[in-house]
């Protein structure tokens, strides 16, 4: 069943068409081989940048696409159906541009945002540390003011695009006042003392480099601080609300790809003289998979439309991330089941989808943390 999209404008419909073409031509044919080789497709991000897909939800006056979030997310979903590494990369880049776009001064935005949205540069987001993951407010990387600079010392962990990014959004401690002692700095990747470590050896999403970044006496100009001193944690959380919707869209795209592969296979595979899709045990499994994907899509679109309308959407984003990523885990696992023994081999993509789905339940706040966000909102009333 083709995905039917309710898009707000003809321009958005064209954008989705362009994305589908690009994903089929440039992403899908390369995904399996490059994932197996753990190669990062840097050149593909330039192709996406030229097509205008690296700054979609930001204002056109700064070089963005001026698209509502609901459209941007459907683009991410299409990319994820073809190759999760690329969709996640677009989501992380978009997240990394948010602090400047939302909290920068007019002068800062005019100076740096057009290049960041222009398609040539790639961003990364540095919040997590080896000893502070879910409890991100306890981070210890220090930025100490020294004249016109901050001097940064510490280690950031799990940085997506570490070593390949052109700029890093860094959350660092500028005072001992807990989460209120954190500030955001926009750090160019080529500063002396900033060193990316060897990439983590991961279960999936292997083409997307994830590594620690060590900051050893890195001097960052104070004019690169975004927002006020101490505002960094609030900025980080606000960026994550939007980022979680990006992950939800990634999850829906991945789950849709697994569903499509499973339906195709079940139509063609015969046992006991019938196509296996004619066995109710298989078709009910596929029906549940399709229902989960449609529900997850509806949930992220609802949260995106709230965001586009300027309404609070944090708990809804957490619900979308939680439900969509749990659905992706279930749907990809069930897709392997539909393929039987063949599903457990690398001859078909579903084993990779299953490995890739797992991380979606972990990053940008584990699904336990999403429940915490939703539960707190319920408690507040």
Ligand X SMILES: Cc1cc2nc3c(=O)[nH]c(=O)nc-3n(C[C@H](O)[C@H](O)[C@H](O)COP(=O)(O)OP(=O)(O)OC[C@H]3O[C@@H](n4cnc5c(N)ncnc54)[C@H](O)[C@@H]3O)c2cc1C
Nearer to ligand X by Cβ, of 59 and 137: the residue is 137
Report, in Å, the least distance between residue 126 CB and ligand X: 6
Among candidate residues 77, 88, 129, 364, the one labeled active-site is 364
Q: How near is the Cβ of 88 to ligand X at its closest, in Å?
A: 8
Structure-token pair, residue 229: 């001193």
Nearer residue to ligand X within complex by CB, 160 or 256: 160
Please, are residues 87 and 79 in contact by the beta-carbon 8 Å criterion? yes
Residue 220 half-sphere exposure, CB side, CA atoms within 13 Å? 31
CA distance 350 to 352: 5
Q: Is the dihedral of CA 216, 124, 329, 79 positive or negative?
A: negative
CB 137 within 8 A of CB 179: yes
Residue given tokens 């480099």 in the structure block: 209
Which residues of the chain form contacts with ligand X (CB under 6 A)?
Answer: 92, 125-128, 133-134, 158-160, 202, 205, 210, 359, 362-366, 368-369, 372
Under 8 Å between Cβ of 183 and 11: no
For residue 138, the minimal CB distance to ligand X (Å) is: 10
Q: Which is nearer to ligand X, 81 or 128 (CB)?
A: 128
Q: Which of 67/174 has CB closer to ligand X?
A: 174
Report how far Cα 363 is from the mean position of its chain's Cα atoms: 9
Instruction: Specify the residue, 16 or 80, whose C-beta has the smaller distance to ligand X.
Output: 80
Q: How many CA atoms lie within 13 A of 60 on its CB side?
A: 4
**304-328 per-residue burial string, b: 16 or more CB within 10 A, e: under 16:** bbbbbeeeebbbbbbbbbbbbbbbb
Catalytic-residue membership of 364 = yes
Q: Which residues belong to the active site?
A: 364
């Amino acid at each position: 069943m083709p995905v039917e999209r309710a898009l707000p404008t003809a321009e958005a419909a064209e954008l989705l068409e362009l994305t589908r073409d690009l994903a089929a031509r440039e992403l899908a044919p390369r995904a399996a081989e490059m994932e197996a080789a753990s190669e990062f497709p840097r050149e593909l991000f330039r192709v996406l940048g030229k097509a205008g897909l690296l700054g979609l939800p930001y204002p056109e006056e700064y070089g963005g696409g001026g698209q509502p979030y609901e459209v941007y997310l459907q683009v991410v979903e299409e990319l994820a159906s073809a190759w999760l590494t690329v969709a996640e990369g677009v989501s992380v880049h978009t997240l990394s541009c948010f602090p400047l776009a939302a909290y920068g001064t007019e002068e800062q935005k005019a100076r740096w945002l057009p290049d960041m949205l222009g398609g040539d540069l790639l961003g990364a987001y540095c919040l997590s540390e080896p000893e502070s993951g879910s409890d991100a407010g306890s981070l210890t990387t220090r930025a100490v003011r020294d004249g016109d600079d901050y001097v940064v010392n510490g280690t950031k962990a799990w940085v997506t695009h570490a070593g390949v990014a052109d700029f890093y959004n860094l959350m660092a401690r500028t005072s001992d006042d807990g989460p209120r002692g954190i500030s955001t700095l926009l750090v160019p990747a080529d500063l002396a003392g900033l060193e990316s470590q060897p990439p983590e050896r991961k279960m999936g999403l292997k083409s997307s480099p994830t590594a620690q970044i060590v900051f050893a006496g890195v001097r960052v100009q104070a004019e690169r601080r975004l927002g006020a001193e101490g505002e960094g944690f609030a900025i980080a959380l606000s960026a994550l609300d939007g980022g979680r919707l990006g992950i939800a869209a990634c999850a829906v795209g991945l789950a849709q790809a697994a569903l499509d592969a499973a339906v195709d296979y079940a139509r063609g595979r015969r046992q006991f003289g019938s196509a296996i899709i004619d066995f109710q045990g298989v078709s009910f499994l596929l029906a549940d998979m399709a229902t989960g994907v449609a529900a997850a899509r509806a949930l992220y679109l609802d949260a995106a439309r709230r965001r586009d309308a300027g309404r609070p959407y944090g708990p809804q984003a957490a619900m979308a991330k939680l439900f969509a990523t749990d659905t992706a885990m279930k749907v990809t696992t069930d897709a392997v089941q539909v393929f039987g023994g063949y599903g457990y081999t690398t001859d078909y993509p579903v084993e990779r989808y299953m490995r890739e789905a797992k991380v979606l339940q972990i990053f940008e706040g584990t699904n336990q943390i999403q429940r915490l966000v939703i539960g707190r909102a319920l408690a507040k009333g």
